[in-house]
Each structure stands twice: as structure tokens, then as C-alpha cells.
Structure 1
Amino acid sequence: MTGLTTHVLDLTLGKPACELEISFYKTDSDRRDLLSKFVTNSDGRLDKPIFDQSNIRAGWYEMVFHAGKYLIAKHKMRSAELFFDNVSISFQINELKQHYHVPLLLSKFGYSTYRGS
């Protein structure tokens, strides 16, 4: 399998983070171009890969997870209670025959990511 996928888990609830908005950008030294927007499904995933083997391209990208909006909706937090708003993950795709999986483990006061498989 070749492409780019993501998965968001809500560590506070111990469940997938459903209905979390994600903005996806192509970046380079002086540009940031919005390529698409997504919303996670009931499994905390997207309904289809961001890239598959037919359209994956090398370069730098950024995923912006709109965590604040999600935390307000799902955890009934007020805006003034948020520790962070958006989670931005910048990464490079440089091997077009590999699969890139960028999961986000999210809680009210922290987050973690890694390159998954």
C-alpha cells in the first residue's frame, strides 16, 4: 500500500476522535497552499487516503488538526479553557513507493504523533 493516511485518537475518552476537521497544505520555504479539507469519520480516520499511489507527490506538507474546535464540541470545554487550539504537523514525503501514516494522539492538554505504517 502506498499513500498518505491519518488517524486521530482521543486519549481522554479512549475513543477515536470523530468529526475532527483537518486542513491539508503543500508547503515550501515561502508558500503554504491549501490542498484540501477533511473531517474524520466515526473511526477517527478519513473515508479515503489523502494520497494514494496514483497521486502521491514528493515534498513538504502540513496537516492542521483543528483540535480546539473538536475539544469544545466533544468535551464541552470553553474557549478560555483551551491549552492549545490547532495542532500542526509538518512532514516530508520523499519515498513515493512507501506508505505514510500520520496518526495524532490527542488529549485536552497534550498530543503526540509519529510516523506510522
Structure 2
Amino acid sequence: MVLTTHILDVANGKPGNGIEIDLFIWKGEQRVFLKSVVTNQDGRVDQPLLMTEELEAGQYEFCFYTGAYFRQTQSDQQASPFLETIPVRFYIHNANEHYHIPLIISPWSYQVYRGS
């Protein structure tokens, strides 16, 4: 059906807004760029990343570019955050299902899961 994501910043207790995300699909050993988006004030993307007609079974990858976000939100303004880019590879087995991939972040860790 669709592919969606959102980002929650648990260290600051708010959505991860203004974070750039790139989406790729893996074709064999080659990573193919699909699109780039930026999270809104709610930590979400305004539109699904892929709609029904674009979804296909296969391996995908998100690259969440959290470095700039952490530089803006951290009080110590570290020049180089611990988590600059968070790559997440996942597999879509059934293109007729909704795949929601939330990312929970802090300056030092992250968690990702298949949501609903």
C-alpha cells in the first residue's frame, strides 16, 4: 500500500523536525536513489515516501541525516555529533501492506522498528 516514516527525538521529548531522509532501493549489489524528503514540524513526511503503484518487493534503505539536527538542538553545539547519518536497511516482502518505519533518536543512540 504505502511506505511511511517518522522521527521522534526522545532526548528532547519532541518530533525530529527538519531532518533530511534519502530513500534507496537495492537492485542486486547496486543501491539506486529513489527520493529525498525532509521531516515536517511533526517529525513526519508530508506524503508517503512510496505509494501503492511505486512499491515493489525488495530491499530498501533509508539514510537519516541527523547530524545537522543534533548540532542545532544540542546545547553544547558539538561540531561533529556521534550520529551523523543513520542508515536503515529493511525488506518489503508484500507490496500490498503498509510499511511504517519509525526512527527513535537521541544524540547517542537510535531504535527503529516496523510500526503500524
TM-score range normalised by the length of the shorter chain: over 0.9
Work out the number of aligned pairs and report it: 115
Cα root mean square deviation, aligned: 1.2
Matched, 1:69 2:71: no
Alignment deviations for residues 21-78 of structure 1 (CA, whole Å, 9 cap, x no partner): 0011111442011111000001100000011222211111100000112111222532
**Matching residue of 1:78:** 78
Q: Secondary structure at the match of 2:71?
A: helix
Between Structure 1 and Structure 2, which shows a larger proportion of helix residues? 1
TM-score by length of 2: 0.92
* Structure 2: distance between partners of 1:18 and 1:88: 18
Alignment deviations for residues 56-114 of structure 1 (CA, whole Å, 9 cap, x no partner): 1111110000011211122253224x222100000011111110000000001100010
**Matching residue of 1:23:** 22
**Matching residue of 1:112:** 111
Structure 2, gaps ≥5 residues long = none
Structure 1, gaps ≥5 residues long = none
Q: Secondary structure at the match of 1:51?
A: coil
**Matching residue of 1:42:** 41
